[in-house]
Amino acid sequence: MNSRAFESARASIVAIGGADSAGKRGLIDDFLRRRRAEGLRVVGVVEARDPGAEACASRAVTDLATGARIGISQNLGPGSTACALDPGGLALACAAVQRSLQQGADLVVLSKFGKLEAGGGGLCDAFSAALEIGAPVVTTLHPVLREDWARFAGDLAEEIAPEPQALESWWRDVSRAARAA
């Protein structure tokens, strides 16, 4: 991400740490339900998986503003033992978030800060767009990318434990600061 966007940003960013992806997805789902019940406009993308589907076939994100599902995996063929993120799918997801942000947002959720974001791609432009409008951002972070995250986000972000009370405490502080502004 461009450091200028961070320097001029008014938003807070929180990264939920830890290696348990399923646990972090559940934590974010619960957090989103509470924020929506409060009537907040939540935009962004969250990971979506179909139960029972092959790993490559099931990698997708859901656009929180529209409910649209956007595929982010590419199948590398029958001889492959791995699947790969589809940069084109992630570009579509990023563009969807940016469009939603043009309408405003109280909160932005970006499923994860991953390898593509660490390299300057993926959802980087969505992070920047959220910061430009001053919206708080929630994301997840795997421990192996901690140094990349620190370079990317600098002092504008904090990492928290994957615990509901840690996320709610961050949200209370961000909300209080926004009301005082």
Q: Which domains does the chain have, with CATH numbers?
A: 3-180 (3.40.50.300)
R_g of the chain computed on alpha carbons: 16
Q: Report which residue type is found at 115.
A: K
Query: What is the pTM (predicted TM-score) of this model?
Result: 0.88
Sign of CA dihedral 171, 106, 176, 147: positive
Whole-number average pLDDT of the chain: 87
**pLDDT at res. 176:** 84
Work out the number of other CB atoms within 10 angstroms of the CB of residue 161: 11
Mean pLDDT confidence for 66-87: 81
